[in-house]
Amino acid sequence: MVQQPVFRRYAKRISHLYAIASAVLPKYKSVVFLHGCFWHRHPGCPYAYTPKSRTAFWEEKFSRTIAHDTKVQGELKAQGWRVLVVWECELKDRKRLVDKLRDFLAGF
């Protein structure tokens, strides 16, 4: 018997939510999003700076991104999915990242 992979697909589109998850684990009803700190506005992160030119444009763009992320994650949670967000800057500290993933996966 061929064992199914844990991750169904890399960068799985969640069509009814207009979102793309970095990993979807349907067996565990879990979703992982890998967010860039700049685009998704990681709070307190130095990579989440606002460009000095066209500030109003960027603030509006970032606001829409944050609102979309909040909506998608809220809808997934309301449907019983577990959601994990991994930030771009967290990829630099391997131990911390492994601990975060381990904590998330421990809930299965």
Which CATH number among 3.40.30.10, 3.30.160.270, 3.40.960.10, 3.40.50.720 corresponds to the domain 10-88?
3.40.960.10
Tell me the residue type at 66. I
* Residue 76: HSE in the Cβ half-sphere, 13 Å Cα cutoff: 27
pLDDT tens sequence across 15-67: 555 567 788 888 888 888 999 999 999 999 999 999 999 999 999 999 999 99
pLDDT tens sequence across 73-102: 999 999 999 999 999 999 999 999 999 989
Question: Distance between CA 63 and CA 24 in Å, rounded?
Answer: 25
CA angle 96, 102, 106 (to 5 degrees): 150
Q: Is the pTM of this model over 0.75?
A: yes
The Cα diameter of the chain in Å comes to 58
